[in-house]
Amino acid sequence: MLWDLFVTFLCVGFVSFGGGYAMIPVIEREVTSRGWMSTQEFTDAIAVAGMSPGPIGTNSAVFVGYHTAGMAGAVSAALGMVVPSLVIVVVVAMFFYKVHKNVWVQSAFYGLRPIVTGLVFYGAIRFARSNHIIADISMETVVAVVLFLAALYALMFVRLHPVYVIALSGLVGIAIYG
């Protein structure tokens, strides 16, 4: 089991581009297809991983590993997630400076940007659907969309610190749903 966790997250770490949020759909597919967690359990783990300090990809690997095989599983999954980044950063740092002005390299990075954005958006939609936020149009869905838009507005235009947005969103949630 520990080896499976390590290899799975090693592969996720090597094939995922765009950071932790772009990795979420890949991790979800691997975790649920192996029966390590249900979609709901994974969604709950992502919610906690997102609120925890540190990168969400590594945090989610730790939660999956711990859920699957305890502390040893958490360490195994975390190492599997971190090793690819370490190897890639070292290799890229050795060669990137020499080729960063290359037209093909710049074009590849420009090509990856919309895909990464799409993966993040896909992860957000899957997360929202698995929590029944956008499954059906209901009053709760309308409230969730309004809260989302208000939080987005506060972050982008009012430039409110994310900690305040999270705290205010929690208080509004308590007021509305509590």
- pLDDT per position as a tens digit, 17-61: 767 778 888 899 999 999 999 998 998 998 888 888 888 889 999
Q: CA of 169: how far to CAs of 38, 97, 161, in Å?
A: 27, 43, 12
Query: What pLDDT sits at residue 42?
Result: 92
Rounded to two decimals, what is the model's pTM?
Answer: 0.59
Half-sphere exposure of 130 (CA within 13 A, CB side): 19
Residue 26 to residue 4: CA distance in whole angstroms: 16
- The mean per-residue pLDDT over the stretch 69-78 comes to 96
Nearest to residue 29, comparing CAs of 9, 14, 49? 9
Q: Tokens for 142, please give them.
A: 């309308």
